[in-house]
Structure 1
Amino acid sequence: MVQTEKLREEFAQRLAQACKDAGLDEHGRGIALSRATGLSSKGVSKWLNAESLPRPAVMAELAKFLKVDPVWLQLGIITGEGSNVSNPRPYTRGTQYPVISKVQAGAWNEAIEAYSLKDIDQWLESDAHIQGEGFWLLVDGDSMTAPMGLSIPEGTFVLFDTGKEATNGKLVIAKLTDANEATFKKLVIDGNQKYLKGLNPAWPMVPINGNCRIIGVAVETKFRLP
């Protein structure tokens, strides 16, 4: 009986911490968890008050909604590389970066950008170390789709860092200096000459002749299934 009470208390503490990290205050978390799981607010309050534990299927739904490791939420154990089971801690939310436009992974194409944060309705999370400003772009086109090795197909979200140095071999977004057009390519530096190259071998290398500037280096990708 004592062990069961301890399990309920420890779970209630982790659930409260996960709710706090998710931005849910004490007044709103009960309603939010009830809506997420489809269960009554009375049942949710029993979890928060250490009176009961969720069923395994419900535990998984809670973890998904709160964006935490389900194993940590249920057992207090961190899984994966660098975990420390003697010091259990919740999943830490990353920084939210705006999705500001769609970039053409092919020929030069119009870069439709939202210049005001209030106009942006989509934000994606990342724990990457960003040196400058960070923003996500959605890949459109097949020039970065490779038959083998690294491939970034259409529909992939790419996180760019405006402060990261664009060195040889980096994946970059480049923009024409005299037009609102951008493209996503691999940067190739050969002596004093720079080129933009697609990962798709069918796309030729394009020399950079002073008519464009590199505005960001790719640091992370996300792909969402339809």
Structure 2
Amino acid sequence: MSLAKRLGALLKEKKLSGNALAKKVGLTQQSLWEITSGKTKQPRNIGKIAEVLGVDPGWLLFGEKTNAVQNISSYEIKQHVPLLKGEKIKEFCENMNKTLDKDTIFIGIQGKASDKTFALEVNGDSMTAPLSTKRSFFEGDIIIVDPTLKPENGSFIVININNEPTFIQYVHNAGKTYLKPLNPQYPTLEMNKKMEINGVVIQVISKV
């Protein structure tokens, strides 16, 4: 289900017209039409739209595994965290809000996390496991990462490898630490001192 379809279903569920939503959010009717028609796929004011509709902006923008509109309101949001691009992670962890601009998208999460917590979109298929395994992550999923936590054996982490934030599994075995993709087509790496852990994954918002 696309953003446009989720938004349309919400308007129908809440018996709210497009014009009424546009007024509440401060959008022109043309801008709202571009969103509901699917022309605009990542509107800058998604946070305000989600707030007015009483839903999680991450769900509205990317979707979750459930398509049931009635389940949307049951997603209990405790905190909002910024959705970052890879190159912004280190700067955000050091300077936090100074890194963010007015176009930053915030994602609602369940439970409380540190104020340094951020969201990151999964790229590629290195963490997509074979169908026979239980845990798997897909391109487009949103992972929630807390930089204040220390990884344990088996944790999923984001780590800087050659100046590139990489989503991978942290494995400690026989006194050594390895970085293991869930997709066996990618190589397992031995961790070294040049690699910097950006944080531990605490939640995932799965794309439909």
- Please report how far the alpha carbon of residue 171 of structure 1 lies from its aligned counterpart in structure 2 after TM superposition: 0.2
RMSD: 3.2
Which is richer in helix? Answer: 2
Aligned pair count?
Answer: 141
Q: Which residue is 2:169 aligned to? A: 186
8 Å Cα contact 2:156/2:169 also seen in 1: yes
- Please report how far the alpha carbon of residue 65 of structure 1 lies from its aligned counterpart in structure 2 after TM superposition: 2.0
Tell me how far apart the structure 1 counterparts of residues 118 and 206 of structure 2 sit (CA, whole Å).
15
Q: Which residue is 2:82 aligned to? A: 98
Q: TM-score, normalised by structure 2?
A: 0.58
Q: What amino acid does structure 1 have at the position aligned with 2:199?
A: G
Q: Which residue is 1:145 aligned to? A: 128
Q: TM-score, normalised by structure 1?
A: 0.54
Q: Which runs of 5+ in 2 are unaligned?
A: 1-10, 21-51, 57-69, 92-98
In the superposition, relative to structure 1, how do residues 91 and 150 fare at CA in structure 2: closer, same or farther (>3 Å)? closer
Tell me how far apart the structure 2 counterparts of residues 159 and 182 of structure 1 sit (CA, whole Å).
14
In the superposition, relative to structure 1, how do residues 40 and 170 fare at CA in structure 2: closer, same or farther (>3 Å)? closer
Identity %: 25
In the superposition, relative to structure 1, how do residues 193 and 120 fare at CA in structure 2: closer, same or farther (>3 Å)? farther
SS in 2 for 1:140: coil
8 Å Cα contact 2:82/2:105 also seen in 1: yes
- Please report how far the alpha carbon of residue 124 of structure 1 lies from its aligned counterpart in structure 2 after TM superposition: 0.3
In the superposition, relative to structure 1, how do residues 97 and 204 fare at CA in structure 2: closer, same or farther (>3 Å)? same
Q: Which runs of 5+ in 1 are unaligned?
A: 1-31, 42-63, 69-78, 81-89, 102-110
Q: What amino acid does structure 1 have at the position aligned with 2:118?
A: F
Tell me how far apart the structure 1 counterparts of residues 100 and 153 of structure 2 sit (CA, whole Å).
32
1:220 paired with 2:195, answer: no
8 Å Cα contact 1:175/1:215 also seen in 2: yes
Instruction: Select 1:156's aligned residue among 141, 160, 171.
Output: 141
Tell me how far apart the structure 2 counterparts of residues 218 and 40 of structure 1 sit (CA, whole Å).
39
CA deviation vs aligned residue, 1:4-41 (integer Å, no higher than 9, x gap): xxxxxxxxxxxxxxxxxxxxxxxxxxxx9xx9711998
Q: Which residue is 2:60 aligned to? A: none
In the superposition, relative to structure 1, how do residues 66 and 132 fare at CA in structure 2: closer, same or farther (>3 Å)? closer
Tell me how far apart the structure 1 counterparts of residues 156 and 19 of structure 2 sit (CA, whole Å).
49
8 Å Cα contact 1:161/1:216 also seen in 2: yes
8 Å Cα contact 1:132/1:162 also seen in 2: no
Q: Which residue is 2:187 aligned to? A: 204
CA deviation vs aligned residue, 1:83-121 (integer Å, no higher than 9, x gap): xxxxxxx975321100111xxxxxxxxx32174112552
Tell me how far apart the structure 2 counterparts of residues 186 and 91 of structure 1 sit (CA, whole Å).
27
* Structure with the larger RCO, 1 or 2 (CA within 8 Å, 6+ apart): 2
Tell me how far apart the structure 1 counterparts of residues 19 and 147 of structure 2 sit (CA, whole Å).
46
Instruction: Select 2:87's aligned residue among 108, 112, 121.
Output: 112
- Please report how far the alpha carbon of residue 223 of structure 1 lies from its aligned counterpart in structure 2 after TM superposition: 2.2
Q: Which residue is 1:165 aligned to? A: 150
Q: Which residue is 2:106 aligned to? A: 123
How do 1:76-87 and structure 2 match up within 5 A? none
Tell me how far apart the structure 2 counterparts of residues 138 and 174 of structure 1 sit (CA, whole Å).
14
SS in 2 for 1:113: helix
- Please report how far the alpha carbon of residue 175 of structure 1 lies from its aligned counterpart in structure 2 after TM superposition: 0.8
